[in-house]
Amino acid sequence: MNFLRNFLASILGTLVAFGVLFFMFILLASLLNTEDAVVVAKNSVLELKIKYPIRDFVGKDDADPFSLFFERSQSLDDILDAIKVAKEDDKIKGISISNNFLSAGYSTAQAIRKALENFKESGKFVFAYGDFYSQKDYYLASVADSVFINPVGSMDFKGLSAEVLYFKSLQEKSGVKMEVIRHGKYKSAVEPFLADEMSEENRNQISELLGSFWNEIITEISVSRNLSVDQLNTIADTLGGRNPRYANRTGLIDGLLHYDEYENKLKALLGLEKTNELNTINLRKYTKISNVKRLKTGKDKLAVIFAQGQIFYGEGGPDNIGQGIIVKAIRKARDDKSVKAIVLRVNSPGGSAVVADIIWRELELAKKEKPLVVSMGDMAASGGYYIAAGANKIYAEPTTITGSIGVFGTIPNISELAKNVGINAEQVGTNKNSVDYSLFEPMGNEFRKVVTESVEDVYDIFLERVASGRGLTIAEVDSLAQGRVWSGADAKENGLIDELGGLEDAIVEAAKLAELKEYSLKKYPRYKSSFERFMEDMEGASLQVKQNWVREELGPELLSLYNEVKGLMNQKGVQARLPHSLTIK
């Protein structure tokens, strides 16, 4: 009896302790999130300092106190809106771009750069300062009226490169391999498992992709810095910007300054003395103001649906695309009578072919009732292109990674490892094909034929979807397909997209197709708050904490590798996915 009483008392004590800790956690989060109302002082400078990875859309409740613990990202949507609002804000006299380490693709950097160019049309200044400039950071900073660097800082300007790792020999030595079935001579997502060297087809497509990106980047820098494209290529080839002194001499930057000296330049632009206080407001605070400003007004609405991340079967969320959350968003936009057109913003390397087709079908149903325009972000490749292909019109940035019309299947196999360590698996079944595949046995010819047939079927359907959406023949699409990756600029030339431009251009086109002059925007989906995700999926919350730790302690490259391996393990079924994990730097 005493044992039972003590046992129940222990349980009760544990529950009470948990409740107290939970209450203290909520209280702490609320206190940390408490801020005074944001006020912009007269004669202020907006600080464009981007510390966290950029997503196209965050879609969270700003009042969510738990975002302090789990949300470590910034919304491109918020950044662009903040710059637009600052352009018309009489209290904001200029923008200072300072010490960025952009964790985003070149298309995202290009979108921010265009917004800053538009901001400069107001006559207000844009200045830039950095202790270090990566090529992407410099590309963004070069839009400024003047660009400065720390005298003992560093600069990177040498052209673009990409690296792909190959694992064939590792598989042979370890006995752990990936069984691969693919369609498309350029479908190199699986090439690292089949060879130890890069194929000529893959080398060719990566080289052309990098060349297209680099030409776009230096053409824009050329205009901003008043340097010819030939001069910029010479600087890159000779490493003429490898330190602050050389960068200054070659014209990449305008001066070597310590940060206090840079602040004095900003004060001079504002008509202040060096002893005066410089009024600045950071981007995070200013977005609290810009988010409540209605940049577009009207009772008629345009729906903007954000589809970002890899495509997995399931509900989906802010980091990946699932049929659950996206299909709900499409149906809401389709059924809302105030919504007159739909803009789908795609930023995805692809993934599950079946999920891509589910989303494609839902978009086809919506397109029968309302115009559909697609805007492509950093990438809309393979499955990302699949869901975009049927739109009335497709926009992409010149530096968007797109195309990759091809499919593959990968299945892990450890038969060699099992043999080496003395494991033997025996199978028993009721029918001829009831035992189709075992992780511990080499893949049989019959099973390989079945998987190959599935891959070929999905590839044929993919071609049909694109041909129908783009008004091309199957043969024409096949000549552009085979898993080949294209830049947005090249995709415009070969007909895979319609126009070069960003999200704003796509919105304007959707309004035109819907014959709207005045309209407001309705954005989807609305993601669950950090607290909801924490309570629903403790493992998911734990994963977010782990990712934050890896990013902060070990850097974004190891986090990227971690996410790549995790994504590979989550792949199920035939994949319509970007042909390689490609980091351009």
Q: Is 382 a catalytic residue?
A: yes
Query: Which residues lie across from 394 on neighbouring strands?
Result: 374
Candidates 382, 529, 530, 581; catalytic one: 382
Dihedral sign for Cα atoms in the order 101, 106, 108, 111: positive
User: What is the DSSP-derived secondary structure letter of residue 371?
Assistant: -
Q: Is residue 187 annotated as a catalytic residue, yes or no?
A: yes
The catalytic position among 60, 93, 187, 267 is: 187
Q: If you search the block for the tokens 């511990």, which residue do you land on?
A: 440
Residues 6+ apart with CB under 8 A from 278: 45, 263, 266, 267, 270, 272
Cis link prior to 525 (omega < 30° from 0)?
A: yes
Report CA Rg, the chain.
26
- In whole angstroms, give the CA distance from residue 573 to residue 313: 10
The alpha helices in 149-199, defined as continuous H runs, are 168-174, 191-194
CA 20 – CA 203 distance, rounded (Å): 59
CA distance 105 to 399: 9
For 287-320, b/e burial (b = at least 16 CB within 10 A) is bebbeeeeeeebebbbbbbbbbbbbbbeebbbbb
* Residue ranges of E strands in 115-186: 125-133, 146-155, 177-183
Which pair of tokens denotes residue 517?
Answer: 């002059």
Residue 353, CB half-sphere, CA atoms under 13 Å: how many?
21
Say how far apart CA 300 and CA 517 lie, in whole Å. Answer: 9
- Residues 491-506 as b/e (b if ≥16 CB within 10 A, e otherwise) read bbeeebbbebbbbbbb
- Secondary element (H or E) of residue 393: strand 393-396
> Which is nearest to 345 in space by CA: 315, 388, 290, 392?
388
Q: What is the 3-state secondary structure (H, E, C) of 72-117?
A: CCEEHHHHHHHHHHHHHCCCEEEEEEECCCCCCCHHHHHHHHHHHH
Residues annotated catalytic, as ranges? 187, 382
